[in-house]
Amino acid sequence: MAESDKDDLISIIEEEEEDMDIPEAMPLMPVRDVVIFTDMLLPLFVGRKKSVRAVEEAVANDGFLMLVTQQDPGNENPKPEEIFSVGTVGRVIRMLKLPDGRLKALVQGVAKARVVEYVRKRSWYHVKISLIEDQPVPENDLTLEALKRNVREYSEKIMTLRGEMSSDVGAILESIEEPGKLADLVASNLKLKIQESQMILEITDPVERLRKVNELLSREVDLSAMQAKIQSDVKDEISKSQRDYYLREQVRAIHRELGEMDEKALEIEEYKRRIKKARMGKDAREEAEKQLRRLEQMHPDAAEASIVRNYLDWLVELPWQKATKDHFDIPGAKKILDEDHFGLDKVKERILEYLSVRKLNSETKGPILCFVGPPGVGKTSLGRAISKAMRRKFFRISLGGVRDEAEIRGHRRTYIGAMPGRILQGLKQCGSHNPVFMMDEIDKLGSDFRGDPSSALLEALDPEQNANFSDHYLNLSFDLSRVMFILTANMTDTIPSALLDRMEVIRLSGYTEEEKMGIAEKHLLPRQIKENGLKPKNLSIADKAMRQIINEYTSEAGVRNLEREIGSICRKVARKLAEGGKGPFSITRASLQKYLGIPQYYPEMDQEESQVGLSTGLAWTEVGGDVLYIEVSLFSGKGDLLITGQIGEVMQESARAAVTYARANMDRWGVDESFFENQDIHIHVPAGAIPKDGPSAGVAIAAALISVMTGRAVNKYVAMTGEITLRGRVLPIGGLKEKALGALRGGIRTVILPEKNKKDLSEIPANLKRKMKFITVRHMDEVLPIALEEASTKKKSAVRKKPSSKPPKAVEA
């Protein structure tokens, strides 16, 4: 705008201010992102239809327009309750229609007013207002004069820090004497939040309004000073960086003149030497040389230079061709395995087979073994023994709870703090590309939005693919075919089938009492004596005492708790020696309770005698086998079936099949056909807090139910396992070895199992077969004579009839 136009505009405003009659009703235009104060002159771009109609209506009449700030700047169509009630009456000085349909209006704040009523709301807002007058100002008030002077000084200081100070601005500030107008002028030029500006607008006391502006000015001065300091520091840093770069270039030029090498050149030469020494593949060497050329062209302090250095360090430190020499002394390896582990003959045999094949064919690929078994059976320690026998490096990672795919494949180099996956990290730490690499808890892998680690392991654990394993960080192929991967799991149910297919599963079922005795004597007791600062002569534990610890103080498939109990005895003996006691200390069965307290478990069954309706089944769990009691009771009812004990759907179906079989053959056991018409059946599996599922309890449920029907007790020393069909056939089950060990711990003497599981008896240890009797059956007719005792005079069925010679209702097809 030219100077003449400014003068004309000012003269127009002054003429209109001399005679200004503000009406009580006028159009209202909501404004956003700004609060308009009195005497404020500013251009507004109007685009909303309601706002355009309001401005046009104001111009068509007397030019007055109520300008009120809306509460939410993002609201395109604010309702009356979403607009502040206090605003400024403005006058449209000029208006210009733009080609896109918008308006450009020059408005001036005239007076402060409050919206009383919305008269029109449809096409545009038309409101009734009431003017707000400022309160009177005291004269000759020194506090007020000091406040005005303070506001002027703060304002000038802010303008100076922003670089906007001029003599005209200072003159304008000095010319305003009214505190209200001074407060409005300063507030309209401060970068305040909408709520703060609206609060100042609504204050009717000019002195109070000026005091509030003074507080906000004080804060703004601090912010502006801090901003100026930050800008100055950045400028100084840039200048320092430029100066340092110039000096470094001068130093390099001096070194070149003297025939010496600077630090950067030495670093580049060192990388070249290490790349050559690493003996990496062709692709990896080309990538390393490419990154080295990039580093050579970079400034040493560049942000990307550290990323390239880190990448090169990984490339040159990975064991591309480094390997340990395998030890192929088969008898020596067998001796090492026997020294470190008692039993586990099948696992040891597999390791010796691998060593034998490697001895005959050095190019064979490493196996992917998966040890599956309950906790404490020696899965992890067995991996260490294998590495020791083969004289290979050993590395272990735990996969329990891992949910990020990058843990296996690594991060891409574009991410800050990127690094290779845990497989390459382990190889770098080992310093060889053929270690024994153990991955614990493969069955506890997770997955979420960051990827599926189990899918990432497919490539690493596939012998046909892992020769070209690709890590996201390296983005190069690395040969994992020489690595001997050993994985551990408590169960295979949660391992994806595609991943399980790549493994050779070896099951470790648990230890018998004799095996635990041997482990305790050869490994656990000597280790605990050493760890607790004792000498072998200080402590001895009798065989009977050790058996009592195994049977009455622990109940597990492994030996972890057994070692804890032995460690507890060693600590108590160590305390006695430290207090001046004299050894040696001999722990016998009689003195054991002084060291370990009362027994926690009892090897015999919970029931004191054989009972009607109580049978013993066998269960498989993640921590080994265990006995499973089945209780059946009858009570008055309508023949309904009730099943409790937190039983899964498969086990419930097995229970229904058992009930159907029993009811279909009642006449065979001399039970009247109306026996169940007025009685309900309740089947309960104790330990209701533990979920149970599976079909193998069918035989035990049928035996307990027939026991109730006939009044014959179930032999408490007999346990049974097997799936039952509607026709009474006994189908095979899994986990026989674990169940047999659980039965032995529970005091069972006879185990009834399906005929088709007879082949699995070869896996049962010989000493276990000597202690227990295993009977195979095909049909329930073979189970009942073994499981049920002869009926006594006290235990008779409530309803009986003479045994029938007729064939059963349901016969085997």
Residues 490, 294 contacting (CB under 8 angstroms): no
Residues 122, 115 contacting (CB under 8 angstroms): no
Q: What is the number of residues in the chain?
A: 813
Angstrom distance (rounded) from CA 466 to CA 282: 18
Pairing of strands 41-46, 103-120: antiparallel
Transcribe 387-456 into DSSP letters.
HHHHT--EEEEE-TT---THHHH---TTSTT----HHHHHHHHHTSSS-EEEEE-GGG---BTTB-HHHH
Instruction: Output the six-digit token pair for 27.
Output: 């159009």
Instruction: Output the six-digit token pair for 439.
Output: 């991955």
CA distances from 272 to 298, 428, 432 (A): 16, 19, 21
Measured torsion, CA atoms of residues 589, 595, 598, 599, in degrees rounded to the nearest 10: -60
CA distances from 460 to 379, 436, 504 (A): 21, 14, 15
CA 454 to chain centre: 15
Strand partners, 647: 692
Instruction: Output the six-digit token pair for 365.
Output: 């690929």
Residue 108 main-chain phi, psi, to 5 deg? -130, 130
Q: Which of 315, 318, 389, 384 is nearest to 351 (CA)?
A: 389
Residues 706, 660 contacting (CB under 8 angstroms): no
Determine the 3-state secondary structure of 773 from DSSP. strand
Angstrom distance (rounded) from CA 143 to CA 732: 100
With a CB cutoff of 8 Å and minimum separation 6, the contacts of 167 are: none
R_g of the chain, CA atoms, integer Å: 45
Residues carrying an active site annotation: 696, 739
Residues 499, 452 contacting (CB under 8 angstroms): no
In terms of phi and psi (left: phi > 0; alpha: psi -120 to 50; beta: otherwise), the region of 687 is left
Angstrom distance (rounded) from CA 147 to CA 138: 13
Residue 468 main-chain phi, psi, to 5 deg? -125, 50
Cis-peptide into 300, omega within 30 deg = no
Q: Between vectors from CA 51 to CA 48 and to CA 57, what angle results, nearest 5°?
A: 140
Q: Which of 484, 481, 482, 476 is nearest to 316 (CA)?
A: 476
Angstrom distance (rounded) from CA 746 to CA 286: 66
Answer positive or negative: Cα dihedral of 80, 85, 89, 90: negative
Strands (E), 497-644: 504-507, 539-541, 585-587, 614-621, 624-636, 641-644
The residue type found at 262 is: D
Instruction: Output the six-digit token pair for 337.
Output: 């395995």
Residue 470 main-chain phi, psi, to 5 deg? -115, 120
Angstrom distance (rounded) from CA 172 to CA 164: 14
